[in-house]
Amino acid sequence: MITFSINGQEVGGEEGWTVLDVARWHGIEIPTLCHHEAMEPFGACRLCAVEVDDGRRTRVVISCMYPIREGIKVQTETPRVANVRRWIAQLLLDESPQAPNIQELAKSFGVTPSRFKKTGVESACHLCGLCIRACQEVVGVQALTFGNRGVLKEVTSPYHRRSQDCIRCGTCLYVCPTGAMEQIFPLVSSE
């Protein structure tokens, strides 16, 4: 049993649990985007940032991948954390201005579209990888993958061809947080 504190509240957990697990279990809300309970944490969106004091120093870490340790003090609502999350919300909004979820998120942080305008944004996908992980971890096939690199990175099927592995279960559509999969699905799914 590991004991530590979140926002001053004494909590406990077992080896291998993450800060996010324990916080949510105790009803402490931490915003997430690329996290889904059915899949392993991925740490793509960084929205779940919290401040952790391990006795030596204080750092901003992502709670979805931070394993709990004895005696750490976690703060979820400090100005530092709020600043990190606001910037992430800002960038997400600029990346996918069309997605309703992101618009809502941006609103909750009070951010508006900034000078970092991405041109030619058609889909609202911001590469959180949920669909790809769902396809591999939940469904157990590999019909989706990341294609290209850098600014051209995209969600696609292997070799940009309609995947024969796809079983048309719609799991990717279900987990997509922005609705971008609706545009991608007809292009990648099997016939």
Partner 1 sequence: MKTESKIGVFLCECGGKISGRIDLQEVRELTRYEPWAHFETSPYPCLAPGLETIRKQVQDKGLDRIMVAGCSSRIMKKRFTNGLAAVGIQRHQIEMVNLKDHVALVHEAGPQELARKAAALISGGLASLRLLEPYEPVSLPFEGPALILGGGVSGFAAARELARHGLESVVFSKALEAERVLEELHWTFPGCRIFCGDLGEFLREVFTSPKIKIMPDQPIDYIVGGVGDYHVGLRQPDNTITEVNGAAIIVALDREFAPPEIAHIGGGERVLDLLDLEEQLVEGEFKPGKVLFWVNSPQHGKDAQELATMAAWRDSLLLAREHPQVQPTVLYPANIALPLAGADLVEARAHGIGLMSYAPEVHPVVQSGYLSFVSPADNLEHEVEWDTLVVPGVPGDPGAKAQELLRWLPIYPENGGRLQKSHIKFWPDQVPDESLFFTGSAGGLCDLNDVLQQGKNAARGVLRLREKALEGKLVSPVVVHVDKDLCEGCGLCTEICPCGGVEHVKPGSGPVPREVDNHLCSGGGTCAATCPYEAVKILNNTAQQLEARLKAMMARMQENDILGFVCGWGGLASAEQAAIKGVAYPSGIYLVPVNCLGSIDPFILSMAFLNGVKGIMLAGCTPKHSCHYHFGVDHCWYRVNAMKKLLSLAGLERRRISIGYVEVNEPNSFARMVESHMESLGKLPPLPQDEKSKAKLWAIHATLHRPRVRWVLGTSLRRPAEKEFPGSQFNAVEADETMLDVLKEEFLASRILKALSDQPLNPPGIARLMDEPVKNITPLLPDMANEGRIALQGWEGGYPVYAVGKA
Query: Given the rule CB under 8 A, which residues bind partner 1?
Result: 13-14, 16-18, 21-22, 24-27, 29, 36-38, 134, 137-141, 166-171, 173-176, 179, 182, 185-186, 190
CB of 40 to partner 1, least distance (A): 10
How is 142-163 classified by DSSP, letter by letter? ---EEES-GGG-EEE-GGGS--
CB of 184 to partner 1, least distance (A): 10
Nearer to partner 1 by Cβ, of 18 and 156: the residue is 18
Nearer to partner 1 by Cβ, of 24 and 80: the residue is 24
Q: How far is CA 28 from CA 19, 56, 63, 74, 75, in A?
A: 11, 25, 12, 11, 11
Nearer to partner 1 by Cβ, of 16 and 150: the residue is 16
Nearer to partner 1 by Cβ, of 94 and 125: the residue is 125
CB of 107 to partner 1, least distance (A): 16
Pair 122, 102: CB distance under 8 Å? no
HSE at residue 130, side-chain half, CA atoms within 13 A, is 23
**If residue 102 lies in a helix (H) or strand (E), which one and from where to where?**
helix 100-109
CB of 66 to partner 1, least distance (A): 13
